[in-house]
Amino acid sequence: GENVEQHPSTLSVQEGDSAVIKCTYSDSASNYFPWYKQELGKRPQLIIDIRSNVGEKKDQRIAVTLNKTAKHFSLHITETQPEDSAVYFCAASGGGSQGNLIFGKGTKLSVKP
Amino acid sequence: SAVISQKPSRDICQRGTSLTIQCQVDSQVTMMFWYRQQPGQSLTLIATANQGSEATYESGFVIDKFPISRPNLTFSTLTVSNMSPEDSSIYLCSVELLTDTQYFGPGTRLTVL
């Protein structure tokens, strides 16, 4: 089945710097890759997603890139702000099991003012 | 988007008892899912709640322990049966609004003593 690896597990940056979180997946049939942000005590919130027919997608300060050949995808946050501090999860879906999201272990991002 | 609610938001239960968690969405959706998030961990899919048929369980989860109902396209329940302290987790439902795109309910925080 699908396996998703996520790195780093923790990331600390200064306000205004960029942050990059990387994920790799194992099932070449996977075709949908969402990113969720989870603040303490809150539900995971979908912040951006990408499908396998696209190499890059941007939404204001966040962007996601996908390399299908290497089976990895990354989240890029520019001009980080303290409110970006949260746990970020990547996921992969659409392989053997329709609709099943397989999540990475998460990255705790801390943005220091 | 959709409004997804869960009841209860939290509960403290004694071992050996059962708890039923409800998930309600304000629009009809085809796909609903149940996840478990153990303290400080990632999200793990328990099962897909199928309307009109038995739920589809992931490896490691069985119907006797986690019976699921899906009586219509806006509602589902998950029961955690014969609970032990190891069942202490956050249980989240999610719904698929667009192909593969899942949105989460607020979660139910369960503590088993």
Separation between Cα atoms, residue A71 and residue A110, nearest integer Å: 27
Q: Which amino acid is at B36?
A: R
Q: What is the pLDDT of residues B26-48, one digit of tens each?
A: 999 988 999 999 999 999 999 99
Note the pLDDT of residue A97: 52
List CB contacts (< 8 A) between A89 and chain B: 42-43
By the CB < 8 Å criterion, does B31 face chain A? yes
Q: What proportion of chain B, given as a percentage, has pLDDT over 70?
A: 100
Separation between Cα atoms, residue A13 and residue A109, nearest integer Å: 8
Note the pLDDT of residue A99: 67
Mean pLDDT of chain B: 95
CB within 8 Å: A99 and B43: no
pLDDT value at B113 more than 90: yes
Note the pLDDT of residue B53: 87
Q: What is the pLDDT of residues A20-42, one digit of tens each?
A: 999 999 999 899 999 999 999 99
CA within 13 Å, CB half, B23? 31
